[in-house]
A and B are shown apart, each in its own frame.
Chain A
Amino acid sequence: MSTSARLRDRRVSLERRATASKAVRTSLVSLAGLIGGQVTNQSGDEVGRVVDVVARLYGTDSYPPVTGLILRIGRRRTFVPADAVGKVHAGHVRLRTARVDLRDFVRRPGEVLLAKDVLDHQLVDVDGVQVTRAADLYLAPLVDQIVLVGVDVSLPTLLRRLGPRRWQARPTPERVLDWQSVAPFAEQATEGPPEVRLRASRAALHRLRPADLADILEDLGRAERQQLLGWLEPERAADALEEMEPAELQNLLREAQPEHAARLVDEMEPDEATDALRDLTREEREALLTRMPKDEAAELRRLLTHREGTAGGAMTTLLITARQDESVAEVRGRLAEQAEHRTEIDAVAVVDGTDRLLSDIPLFDLAVAEDTTPIADLVAWRVQFGPPDTVHADTSLADAADQLVAARASSLLVVDDSDRPLGRILADDLLDALLPERGRLHFRRFLQ
């Protein structure tokens, strides 16, 4: 391909982009530029100024429709419904009628004031996995209504808004997020009916990995954080909480409603839940434990008796045990039922009639064994590798790590004095405990 051809191609594509963005630019209306803009009636006389735009944020629509405008007419603030609005240009609104019927604004379910509640407030950018602030909102005319299509989060847009009025109305859609991929918070908005609360963007929240969600939760303000937790399924939320910085998690559990916090801790893996509870004060801990189902609470209380920094304090109590007389297929079936805990299981403990440990069979051995093989055969085969690797609940983590390295395994069983398995300590929990904290620097570091 010759250079001139390449250059020509480039010119063409640039022109195309320019016209495209021009087309986009002319059809988009910047909300920041609209606020304070002129409102004229059909005959072109000025009626008032735009104070705010009302949109139905919590509804079934994929893009929130504008339901009306709040205007300042003389010294009065009044509401104009969307059907009286004729055309919305950059920084200027034309009404369909010559007379405006003056009504006071009353918030209906699911409605928000875009400038007051959304612009300049925090929102979650699901694709960019970050918490950011809305620098500008863009409206676009659809067939018979005006909808909110996107959010601008770029710094240049902020500078544009600082400039003179002429700049303000000019959209700069360089970094616009599609409304479908953000989760806005509007504290003051009266929530709509619960079934429509899970808008597309909130479904998008469920696409995020737990670690990303944890980052986002750490960045949000208190009210927004609780709102976001409310949107997530408790299981998803618990996964994210497991990834959070201990101190941040502690704050989050403290500020949540006790019932909700108890529900979340209940959903967490036992070892992570124990860590989280350990950081709370006695009263806070009891407040959560008493609101949990009896068995879970009892188990957590038992785990809490182990000291932090010991194998007992970092183990998970989720154990899959098998007996000698079972077949591999039966054990596999039991593993399949525990699919949600897949990250916590990497071996099966084989016990005798009195629950004493005989052997610890890694999943690999189970995976390659025949369905009909009795577990006893696997136990006999494992004997050549020596006795199973176990630690006691009071073994220090440093020792446990040494043993894990020596055993070249990915987990160790924790047993009591009579050799009965209590739980399992996993390599990632050991790493968590042994690596220095590589958290983000908040002010806390300076204050400790």
Chain B
Amino acid sequence: MTRDLDTATPAPQAPAPARRTGWRRLTMIAAVAGPGLVAANAGNDAAGIATYASAGSQYTYGTLFFMVLVTIALVMVQEMAVRLGAHTGKGLGALIREQFSLRLTALAVSCLLLANTGLVVSEFAGIGAAFELLGVPKWAVIPPAAVLLWALVLFGSYHWAERIFLIMSLAFFAYPLAMILGHPHWGAVGHNLVIPHVEANKDFILLAVALIGTTVSPYMQFYAAAGVVDRGAKPADYPLIRADAILGAVFACVISLTIIIATASAIGGTGPLNSAAQAAEALKPVAGQGAELLFALGLLGASALAGAVVPLSASYAIGEAAGVERSVSRSFRDAPLFLGLFTAQIVLGATVAMTPVDVIQLLIGTQVLQGLISPVVLVYLLVLTNRRSVLGPAANGPRYRIAATAVVVGVAAMSTILLVQTVLGWFDLA
């Protein structure tokens, strides 16, 4: 960001609108390269990193094939979400309210709220974990971080803070490098990518559901659709938008794969991940002694970034469905539901994140919750994209319908198996 220096007056500095144009031009060229990419990559937040790292440490390369399946699911799901956004010009919340009965709307909205509150917990836990790596106890960090994020979004100019967080989260781009420098067993990697490998034990299923949850998390579909609507994309722009969504999803999953592989080659086979410091070891080939610092930086940036976006997107979707004011520049009296939900999620998230449980277990737990709720939201998405009354000629064709249904059934099956196993486990029948 350069400042215009040709006006050497101590005048009230104009925010150089010409520069804004340049910035807008950039986003215009990429009028669509954005929502899909950002939405998919928001998945690589604290909880995501923890889940992928745990997959690498516990099963080495064993989960790679499953991740390929998840990638396909993510591509299809994101595509459906942006298609709805581009063709209807409405967010998912509004569409669900208009197309389903009120009770079903309430179900969808509660699911989203539950899943998102879980996510907010994981973001604050991530912030706490990042500071613990630097030697600051989490109880001293989480409350001020929560207040700061809340205030930034409501009163500050969040998008400056956002850029700082974004730059910090770029630290995770060290993973692809770490993967190559860590000399993984390439033969085994290739083998595991193409040969199906699924274990029927509870630990693997639990991790698989967490992987689904962190990759195909419910809020992401709402977020992607809202992003497309907000950019005023029209049906004519749809090919570009689709390309962006697919590329974004693939890119996000490639990053996830590199995290799994890098962690596997560093600490693979040491059993479940038990601390953030252990996860940071995967970055040693790149940063050496600074691995923990680098990891903490990335964790902090990614968590803070998502810590504002996630509760906002849920409040936005629910406000849309209820048909109330939704804007952070309104007062609490004008937009009680929107701002109340936003505040409640942050308060609840920060409070739960303070509980003295093992942070990695907490992170993975929130992703399991996402994975359990995900199929519910996917069913709504599938029904909406199947309806000709909503999408007209852009509705799912017969072949696509079969494929998309298979994806949803697959995701639902994993969640159901996990639920059944858990319930049986309570009664010691497993």
List residues of A whose CB falls within 8 A of some B CB: 32, 120-122, 130-135, 153, 155, 158, 161-162, 221-223, 247-248, 250-252, 254-255, 278-279, 281, 307-309, 396-399, 401-402, 433-434, 436, 438-448
Chain A residues with Cβ under 8 A from B103's Cβ? 162
> Are A399 and B322 also in contact (CB < 8 A) when A436-B15, A446-B309, A447-B34 are?
no
Q: Pick the residue among A132, A309, A445 that contacts B16 (CB under 8 A).
A: A309
Do the beta carbons of A438 and B322 come within 8 Å of each other? no
Could you show 9 A-B contacts with beta carbons less than 8 Å apart? A133-B323, A158-B322, A161-B102, A222-B229, A309-B16, A398-B7, A445-B158, A446-B162, A447-B35
User: Across the two chains, which residue of chain B brings its CB closest to A223?
Assistant: B89
Chain A residues with Cβ under 8 A from B330's Cβ? 440
Q: Pick the residue among A32, A441, A448 that contacts B327 (CB under 8 A).
A: A441
Do the beta carbons of A401 and B12 come within 8 Å of each other? yes
Closest 8 CB pairs of A and B: A251-B232, A222-B89, A133-B323, A440-B327, A309-B17, A398-B14, A309-B18, A441-B328
Do the beta carbons of B329 and A438 come within 8 Å of each other? yes
Q: Pick the residue among B14, B89, B328, B329 that contacts A396 (CB under 8 A).
A: B14
B1 at the interface (CB under 8 A from A): no
Please measure, in the bound complex, the distance between the C-alpha atom of A222 and the C-alpha atom of B361, giving whole angstroms.
Answer: 44
- For chain B, residues 374 to 402, give those with C-beta under 8 angstroms from any C-beta of chain A: none
> Are A122 and B323 also in contact (CB < 8 A) when A398-B11, A448-B159 are?
yes
Please measure, in the bound complex, the distance between the C-alpha atom of A396 and the C-alpha atom of B16, giving whole angstroms.
Answer: 9
List residues of B whose CB falls within 8 A of some A CB: 4, 6-7, 9, 11-18, 21, 23-24, 27-28, 34-35, 38, 88-90, 94, 97-98, 102-103, 105-106, 153, 157-159, 162, 223, 226-227, 229-232, 234, 308-309, 312-313, 316, 322-325, 327-330, 337
Interface centre among A397, A402, A433, A443 (most CB of B within 10 A): A443
In addition to A399-B9, A440-B329, A447-B35, 18 A-B residue pairs with Cβ atoms within 8 Å of each other are A131-B323, A251-B232, A254-B232, A308-B17, A397-B17, A401-B12, A402-B12, A434-B14, A436-B15, A438-B329, A440-B328, A441-B327, A443-B226, A444-B230, A445-B159, A446-B308, A446-B309, A447-B231
Chain A residues with Cβ under 8 A from B234's Cβ? 254-255
Chain B residues with Cβ under 8 A from A308's Cβ? 17-18, 21
Please measure, in the bound complex, the distance between the C-alpha atom of A221 and the C-alpha atom of B230, giving whole angstroms.
Answer: 10
Chain A residues with Cβ under 8 A from B94's Cβ? 122, 221
> Are A307 and B18 also in contact (CB < 8 A) when A396-B7, A445-B159 are?
yes
Please measure, in the bound complex, the distance between the C-alpha atom of A441 and the C-alpha atom of B227, giving whole angstroms.
Answer: 12
Q: How far is the CB of A226 from chain B (nearest CB, A)?
A: 9
Q: How far is the CB of A175 from chain B (nearest CB, A)?
A: 12
Chain B residues with Cβ under 8 A from A444's Cβ? 230-231
Q: How far is the CB of B17 from chain A (nearest CB, A)?
A: 4
Chain B residues with Cβ under 8 A from A307's Cβ? 18
Please measure, in the bound complex, the distance between the C-alpha atom of A221 and the C-alpha atom of B250, giving whole angstroms.
Answer: 30
Q: Pick the residue among A158, A440, A446 that contacts B102 (CB under 8 A).
A: A158
Which secondary structure dominates where chain B touches chain A?
Answer: helix
Do the beta carbons of A155 and B337 come within 8 Å of each other? yes
User: Across the two chains, which residue of chain B brings its CB closest to A188?
Assistant: B389
Please measure, in the bound complex, the distance between the C-alpha atom of A135 and the C-alpha atom of B13, giving whole angstroms.
Answer: 48
Q: How far is the CB of B151 from chain A (nearest CB, A)?
A: 14
The number of A-B residue pairs with CB atoms under 8 Å apart is 129
Please measure, in the bound complex, the distance between the C-alpha atom of A121 and the C-alpha atom of B105, giving whole angstroms.
Answer: 13
Do the beta carbons of B9 and A281 come within 8 Å of each other? no
Q: How far is the CB of B44 from chain A (nearest CB, A)?
A: 16
Please measure, in the bound complex, the distance between the C-alpha atom of A389 and the C-alpha atom of B323, giving whole angstroms.
Answer: 50
Do the beta carbons of B12 and A398 come within 8 Å of each other? yes
Chain B residues with Cβ under 8 A from A448's Cβ? 23, 27, 34, 159
Chain A residues with Cβ under 8 A from B232's Cβ? 247-248, 250-252, 254-255
Chain B residues with Cβ under 8 A from A248's Cβ? 232
Please measure, in the bound complex, the distance between the C-alpha atom of A434 and the C-alpha atom of B231, giving whole angstroms.
Answer: 24
Do the beta carbons of B323 and A443 come within 8 Å of each other? no
Chain A residues with Cβ under 8 A from B316's Cβ? 443
> Are A447 and B230 also in contact (CB < 8 A) when A122-B323, A308-B21, A309-B18 are?
yes
Do the beta carbons of A443 and B322 come within 8 Å of each other? no
Q: How far is the CB of B221 from chain A (nearest CB, A)?
A: 13
Do the beta carbons of A447 and B38 come within 8 Å of each other? yes
> Are A155 and B322 also in contact (CB < 8 A) when A251-B232, A444-B230 are?
yes
Please measure, in the bound complex, the distance between the C-alpha atom of A327 and the C-alpha atom of B322, giving whole angstroms.
Answer: 61
Q: How far is the CB of A445 from chain B (nearest CB, A)?
A: 5
> Are A402 and B11 also in contact (CB < 8 A) when A133-B322, A281-B28, A440-B328 are?
yes
Q: How far is the CB of B108 from chain A (nearest CB, A)?
A: 13
Chain A residues with Cβ under 8 A from B11's Cβ? 398-399, 401-402
Chain A residues with Cβ under 8 A from B322's Cβ? 133, 155, 158
Chain B residues with Cβ under 8 A from A161's Cβ? 102
Please measure, in the bound complex, the distance between the C-alpha atom of A255 and the C-alpha atom of B231, giving whole angstroms.
Answer: 11
Please measure, in the bound complex, the distance between the C-alpha atom of A134 and the C-alpha atom of B106, giving whole angstroms.
Answer: 15
Do the beta carbons of A443 and B223 come within 8 Å of each other? yes
User: Across the two chains, which residue of chain A brings its CB closest to B26?
Assistant: A448
Chain A residues with Cβ under 8 A from B9's Cβ? 398-399, 402
Q: Pick the residue among A222, A254, A281, A433 that contacts B88 (CB under 8 A).
A: A222
> Are A121 and B98 also in contact (CB < 8 A) when A131-B323, A441-B329 are?
yes
Please measure, in the bound complex, the distance between the C-alpha atom of A354 and the C-alpha atom of B100, giving whole angstroms.
Answer: 70
Please measure, in the bound complex, the distance between the C-alpha atom of A440 and the C-alpha atom of B330, giving whole angstroms.
Answer: 8
Chain B residues with Cβ under 8 A from A132's Cβ? 323-324
Please measure, in the bound complex, the distance between the C-alpha atom of A316 and the C-alpha atom of B247, giving whole angstroms.
Answer: 44
Please measure, in the bound complex, the distance between the C-alpha atom of A134 and the C-alpha atom of B312, giving whole angstroms.
Answer: 24
Chain A residues with Cβ under 8 A from B230's Cβ? 442-444, 447
Chain B residues with Cβ under 8 A from A397's Cβ? 14, 17
Do the beta carbons of A433 and B324 come within 8 Å of each other? no
Chain B residues with Cβ under 8 A from A434's Cβ? 12, 14-15
Please measure, in the bound complex, the distance between the C-alpha atom of A360 and the C-alpha atom of B171, giving whole angstroms.
Answer: 59
Do the beta carbons of A162 and B102 come within 8 Å of each other? yes
User: Across the two chains, which residue of chain A brings its CB closest to B15?
Assistant: A436
User: Across the two chains, which residue of chain B brings its CB closest to A225?
Assistant: B89
Q: How far is the CB of A448 from chain B (nearest CB, A)?
A: 6
> Are A251 and B231 also in contact (CB < 8 A) when A133-B97, A434-B15 are?
yes
Do the beta carbons of B90 and A222 come within 8 Å of each other? yes
Do the beta carbons of A447 and B227 come within 8 Å of each other? yes
Chain A residues with Cβ under 8 A from B162's Cβ? 445-446
> Are A443 and B14 also in contact (CB < 8 A) when A155-B322, A255-B232, A448-B27 are?
no
Interface centre among B14, B223, B227, B337 (most CB of A within 10 A): B14
Chain A residues with Cβ under 8 A from B12's Cβ? 398, 401-402, 434
> Are A221 and B14 also in contact (CB < 8 A) when A120-B102, A132-B323, A445-B158 are?
no
User: Across the two chains, which residue of chain A brings its CB closest to B27?
Assistant: A448
Interface centre among A32, A247, A439 (most CB of B within 10 A): A247
Q: How far is the CB of B323 from chain A (nearest CB, A)?
A: 3
User: Across the two chains, which residue of chain B brings its CB closest to A226?
Assistant: B89
Chain A residues with Cβ under 8 A from B223's Cβ? 443
Chain B residues with Cβ under 8 A from A252's Cβ? 232
Please measure, in the bound complex, the distance between the C-alpha atom of A133 and the C-alpha atom of B322, giving whole angstroms.
Answer: 7
Chain B residues with Cβ under 8 A from A135's Cβ? 323
Chain A residues with Cβ under 8 A from B14's Cβ? 309, 396-398, 401, 433-434
Chain B residues with Cβ under 8 A from A131's Cβ? 323
Please measure, in the bound complex, the distance between the C-alpha atom of A371 and the C-alpha atom of B24, giving whole angstroms.
Answer: 51
Chain B residues with Cβ under 8 A from A158's Cβ? 102, 322
Do the beta carbons of B313 and A443 come within 8 Å of each other? yes
User: Across the two chains, which residue of chain A brings its CB closest to B329?
Assistant: A440
Please measure, in the bound complex, the distance between the C-alpha atom of A307 and the C-alpha atom of B324, giving whole angstroms.
Answer: 40
